[in-house]
Every structure is written in structure tokens, then in C-alpha cells.
Amino acid sequence: MTNPVTYHAFLSYRSDDRPLVLRIAEELERRGCTCFLDQWYLVPGHDWVSALEQALSASQSVAIFVGSSKEMGRWQQRERAWALDRQAGDPRFAVIPVLMPGCEPPLGFLGQLMWIDLRENLTDPEQLDRLAAVVRGEPITAEGHRQPRATLCPYRGLMYFREEDATFFFGRDKFIERLVAKVDRHRLVAVVGASGSGKSSLVRAGLLPHLRSPDRERVWEIVTMVPNTDPLFSLAKALLPLIEPEFSGYELISKSESAANDLKNDRVSLRNLIDAALERQQGADRLLLVVDQWEELYTQCEDPAGCQQFIQQVLVATDRESSPLKVVLTVRADFYHQLLQDRALLDHLQEGKLDLGPMTPDELREAIEKPATAVGLTFQDGLVDRLLGDARDEPGRLPLLEFALKELWKRHAAGQMTHSAYDALGRLSGAIAAHAERVYAEFDEPAREAVPKLFRRLVHAGAKTEEDTRRRADLRSLDEVTQRIARRLADERLLVTTRIVPNGEESDDHAAETVEVAHEELLRRWSRLNKWIDADRKF
């Protein structure tokens, strides 16, 4: 048997970033590096576990490319977990985050010694020379270790913690243990908590890294979805790339619509789709379906019958003892009464419910101090105690706290976050509203007239402000002026845009892009927005 070819670098990336990564691979090859592209071992129907092990063992390093997508791809998550596991056993094995234009740097890589920053220039010769030297195993000078991580914020603001942010997700260890135990014992698990309690973060940054760990007995395929207006379509669209990876562009949309119709008409079941997915993804023997924001079934679903069919498909697919499927759903506590009215769903959830309570003062302190310590930042004496005191009586304190910490980081002086900066941003209760007002004031008059219309499209008005929820809109359905406003609000982290380039596409021609409010706390805290939505509520 011949020895495996040794590569300088295994290149890990999302499929929609492939054109950019291929350009970088060419630059590395010009510098004498041999590169292994992750697509070479991803053969549908073949055992990816052993293929990944062989590919990593034949490589001296892994370069993980982080692009403009909201999160890393599912294959990247696997590769990242396995690469970091190998690095833990062999410190000489380099794992190098490569930041590309438009990326949201993952906090989980802040512990890496070397970063490559191509955010401003994809072909920056100095950065590419540095990357080539690292993957070849050459020693790096002190100047070479001048890191961009000093420019990276260790807090997530209004955004949830992603799987790749797990090492900076502090203060929830007890609930992570409980959730992992629930998933080990039960096939259907519900994480129930107040708006802003961190349900999505607990699942994504707490549970998923545990399941993805290479030393676990089971190998998990993981799919995440939100119900949106048509939950069966969302379900089909989430699962089809596992079954037919070659689907792309409009074909993926068309096939998803067809599969959704088959689900509605009982021509195919979720159980059938799960079996087909695991057959194609050889090496994985379990599939976890995460249904985030389950309350959308009650606030956004346009077809009540389709909503019930979705629930029924989930119940049937998880009913048998031998099912390889497990489902974790997150739901706001103020919508749990909807689940209570569904006896079959309630019966399945009796033992699988996890109530996510508020953080204790010690847990909050950990979430405040540990990320700062990890990147060499400090707090002025007494500031952490002020933050804890202000957070004590705030029902939506986690997103408020993360937002305030991110704003404090922007204002830090010589590595220290200060009382004066905290006062200037409006303290905990006023920080989000003050930021929104500053951004709104910077718009010209025509834009200010358009902003309320945009937010009305993005908010589902409840009976009162506390019951308002977010809803998504297709960015391309907005006129050109409103699109520009939405992008500016996204730049200011008041809105979130998500761009999805279907599998296999090498351009943005078929990209779908959605926009939504960054966090529901904005709906509670910004009085100007409250007035706009109240005007609709009166109708």
C-alpha cells in the first residue's frame, strides 16, 4: 500500500465561497504550497468519516475560510471540530482562520495563534505570504504574530452565539449538561424560555458542539431550520441537500416545493426523507433536526392545515424507539400555551421539556468577564458590578447585556472598558434605543419616511407590544431605496440579512436574501418603533 500524499493545507470552506477560495488556492500554489480541497473527499454515498480522517492525516494544516454567510457550513462545522480535535493531540498541527470580505469572525477561533485577514483585500500579498509560510510549517516572526484578533469583538451583541462561537459561550454550563442529557434520553426535546433568554445560543453554541465532537460514540448529521410561512417547504429545503447534494439554484427550490407537496399529500413522509438522507451521508448514523423559533408555526404559518401536518410528521418520525431522528425545538415561553392545546405534541414532550431560566449573578459575571479576559481586555473598577446591578431587574437582560458589552468594546480605550463609555451609550436599559435613534437621525427625510414602512413589514403585531414578533421579508421584494435602507440598518446591527447561495452555485445569480429585525428586544425598547407598530395595532 502506498503512503498517502502529504498536503501543506486542507482548505475548508462553504460551497458559496468556492470561487474566492480557488483564487486563494492558486496564489498558495504559486508560493509552493500543495492544497487539498475539501470537495475532493465529499462523495455522496461514501463514508465521509473515514475520508475526512484520511484527508486530515495527509495534511500538515487546515485553513478554515470564513466568508460573508451568516454561519459556517455544515461540512465546515465537521471539519472544524475534527481539525481542532487533532490539534489538541498535536500542537504542531496548525488550524488557521482565514477572514474573507464581509465575514462575521467566529469567536471560537480567537484562541488560535495565527489569523489571516483578507477582509480588505482578498489577494493581499503580505497576508498570503504569511498564510503560505504557516501552512508550510515555517517559523513566524514576532511581527508575523501581530494579530487581527485584537480588532475582533469577543461579544455577540444582538446576534445569537453560533456553533463556531462555542468557546466564548460562557455562563450556561449547567443547562448545556441538562440539554445534552435530554437529547441522549429523548427523541423530542423542547427548550422553553422567555424572549431573550438565549434559547438559540444554548442549542447552537452549547448542544451542537457536544454532538459534533469526534470522540462521541454516535456520528450526527445536523440540520437547522425555522418554520417560516410554509414549514413543510422549509423542512424539505433543509433536508434535500443531504439527499441530493447536486441540486442547486432554482432546481433546489423546485424540488423542495415538490417534496413539500408530497409531504402534504402523504406521498412521502419525514421518516422517508431521514432514511434517504442517512443513506446518502454514509458514516453518520443519527440526524438531529433543530426547529428554531417554533412559535413561527403560530405567528407566520399561512396554512393552518400545513402547520398541523408539519407537527404530525415530526411526531410520527420520532415515535419509534429505533428512529435515528431526534428533534430539538426552541419556543418562547409566552407561546407555550399553544403547545398545551395540542395533546399529541404535549404527550411526546412530557419528559423532554427543558425550561431555560435566567442566569445567576455568578453566571452573568462569567459571561461578562471571561470573553474580555480571553482577548486581553479589562473593565474599569466597579463597572462589572454596575452592569450586574443594571441587569438584575431587566427581563430581556441577556441581549441587552451583550449589546451593551459590544458597544463598550467599540469605545474601549487602551484595552479598558470604562464607566464614562457606559454612561455615554445610555447604560443597559437605554443602549439599544439610543443606538437606534442615532442611526434613524442620520437618515435624510425621504429615508425616514420609508423606515416605518420597512419595519411594519418585519414585525408581526400581537395584541400588545410584549406579544410582537419578528418576521422575515425577501430583500429582493423591496424597492431599491428600501433595500439600501435595510442594508444600512443591517450594517448598524439593527437588522440582519441572510444570503443563501444554493449548493453548487458559483455566483450570486440564484442567491436568496432575507432581512429581519436583529432581536425582539428592539421591539420592546425602541419607543419610536413601538408607535409605528401601535398605529397598525389599532386597525
Kindly state whether residues 187 and 121 are assigned to the same domain. Answer: no
Note the pLDDT of residue 538: 65
What is the SS3 string spanning 215-231?
A: CCCCCEEEEEECCCCCH
Looking at the fold, whether 338 and 403 belong to one and the same domain comes out as no
Quick one: pLDDT at residue 366? 97
Choosing from 433, 454, 484, the residue where a domain stops is: 433
Q: Are residues 181 and 292 in the same domain?
A: yes
Residue 158 within a domain: no
End-to-end CA distance of the chain: 76
* pLDDT of res. 214: 73
Total structural domains in the chain? 4
Answer whether residue 195 is part of any domain: yes
Helix (H) or strand (E) holding 512: strand 512-517
pTM greater than 0.75 (yes/no) = yes
Which pLDDT belongs to residue 56? 80
**Residue 143 buriedness (CB in 10 A; 0-12 / 13-18 / 19+):** exposed
Residue 42 shares a structural domain with residue 123: yes
Please check whether residues 331 and 393 belong to one and the same domain.
no
Q: Quick one: 252 and 372 in the same domain?
A: no
pLDDT range class, residue 124, cuts 50, 70, 90 = very high
pLDDT tens-digit map of 322-351: 899 999 999 999 899 999 999 999 999 989
Q: Pick the residue with more confidence: 480 or 290?
A: 290
Bridging pattern class, strands 495-500 and 416-417: unpaired
Residue 183, pLDDT above cutoff 70:
yes
Residue 47: give its domain's CATH number. Answer: 3.40.50.10140
Q: Say if 16 falls within a structural domain.
A: yes
Considering 89, 122, 151, which residue would you say is the last residue of a domain?
A: 151
Q: Is residue 51 very low, low, confident or very high in pLDDT (cuts 50, 70, 90)? A: confident
192 and 294 belong to one structural domain: yes
> Is pLDDT above 70 for 394?
no
pLDDT at 5 exceeding the cut of 70: no
Domain presence at residue 438:
no
What cell numbers appear for 102 in the block?
Answer: 464581509
Neighbours of 385 (CB within 10 A): 12
My answer on whether 345 and 386 are in the same domain is no
Going by pLDDT thresholds of 50, 70 and 90, the confidence category of residue 499 is low
410/516 same-domain check: no
Q: Which of these three, 119, 151, 183, is where a domain ends?
A: 151
CATH at 213: 3.40.50.300
Same domain, yes or no, for 144 and 252? no
Q: Can you give the CATH number for the domain in which 502 is found? A: 1.10.10
Q: What is the pLDDT of residue 463?
A: 82
Q: What grid cell was written down for 309?
A: 401536518
Domain of 97 in residue numbering reads as: 9-151
Rounded Cα distance, 532 and 539, in Å: 12
Report yes or no on 190 lying in a domain: yes
Residue 234 domain flag:
yes
Partner residues linked to 36 by β-bridges:
10
Mean pLDDT of all residues belonging to the chain: 87
Select from 81, 5, 71, 73 the least CA-distant residue to 39: 73
> Do 196 and 317 belong together in one domain?
yes
- Angstrom distance (rounded) from CA 134 to CA 28: 11
Q: Find out whether 411 and 532 touch, Cβ atoms under 8 Å.
A: no
Whether the predicted pLDDT of 205 surpasses 50: yes
Is the same domain home to 398 and 309?
no
